[in-house]
Amino acid sequence: MIEVENLHKGFGEVKVLKGISTSFEPGKTSLIIGQSGSGKTVFLKSLIGLHTPEEGTISFDGRINTKLNLEERRQWRQEIGMVFQGSALFDSQTVEENVMFPLKMFTKQSRKEMLERVNFVLNRVNLEDSNDKFPAELSGGMQKRVAIARAIVMKPKYLFCDEPNSGLDPQTAIVIDKLIQEITDEYQITTVINTHDMNSVMEIGEKILFLKNGRKAWEGSSSEIFKTDNEAVVDFVYSSNLFKKVREAYLNEIK
Ligand SMILES: Nc1ncnc2c1ncn2[C@@H]1O[C@H](COP(=O)(O)OP(=O)(O)OP(=O)(O)O)[C@@H](O)[C@H]1O
């Protein structure tokens, strides 16, 4: 469980996050949504320790990340998996080497043990037989699978994804979303995703945190987001005619 308490973060005079409190549960896929500039990336970077809060705390199963000693911090870092926008794979390394990288960095496993684990996670993301391929030989969706495999190879307790669907067609995006959700449930990971993709919100948003101007404007689940009359959420999520119609149909159905 990740608990965020009164998180403030700014840069000089610019206040970006203005007192956010929320929590993220294990086994659940939580999505952060909001307009460009609302603070989603700063929030995610604060969670993974790339930004230090000016005020407030972020605790990971009771451990406040800014209060850890060097060894505790090293341990905590190893419990975090990340999927970056654009996959961020090493172009000059094969799929196998990319996925093995965290194991080489952080463990003393033998090559045989590492290979077993790499093959297990590649199998889990349905990427068997791609060990020797280079990222450039893979489609965008396959690259995302490699990035997910690399993110879970260390059996993380926490998984952070920044726009995991960027650059993917809608069908592949749904497959990747579902994969992240399945893995989250299967390994009881606490997963937090930054997204602009409203399909993701509807499909996998077990918890949605809506940020507006650095504040939490709303939070709830994907079924609650259909019903809410929170003006800011309705304006943002249902700005497209398609989603407006989906919402109307849903509301008529439950009447
Ligand atoms: N390192 C930084 N120094 C100064 N200002 C920053 C820094 N990082 C972010 N900001 C500012 O913080 C605000 C929020 O940025 P952030 O990137 O979190 O928005 P976002 O919601 O992720 O937007 P997008 O959806 O476009 O990615 C912006 O006004 C941005 O200019």
Query: Residue 221: pLDDT above 80?
Result: yes
Question: Tokens 């000693």 identify what position?
Answer: 69
Structure tokens at 103: 């194991």
* 147 CA distance to ligand 1 middle (Å): 24
* 155 CA distance to ligand 1 middle (Å): 30
Domain 1-79+159-221 has CATH 3.40.50.300: yes
Ligand 1: does its nearest atom lie under 6 Å from the Cβ of 50?
A: no
What tens digit of pLDDT does each residue of 143-195 get? 999 999 999 999 999 999 999 888 888 888 898 999 999 999 999 999 999 99
Please state the φ and ψ torsions of residue 158, each to the nearest 5 degrees. Answer: -130, 135
Distance CA 25, CA 221 (A): 13
Ligand 1: does its nearest atom lie under 6 Å from the Cβ of 208?
A: no
Question: Tokens 């920044």 identify what position?
Answer: 162
Ligand 1: does its nearest atom lie under 6 Å from the Cβ of 36?
A: yes
Ligand 1: does its nearest atom lie under 6 Å from the Cβ of 233?
A: no
ipTM, 2 decimals? 0.96
**Roughly what angle, to the nearest 10 degrees, separates helices 170-186 and 140-152?**
10
Structure tokens at 243: 């989603």
Global pTM? 0.91
Contacts of 210 (CB under 8 A, 6+ apart): 33, 34, 216, 217, 218, 219, 232, 233, 236, 237
Which sequence spans correspond to the domains of the chain? 1-79+159-221, 90-155
Ligand 1: does its nearest atom lie under 6 Å from the Cβ of 34?
A: yes
Please identify, by atom number, the ligand 1 atom nearest to the C-alpha of residue 42.
18
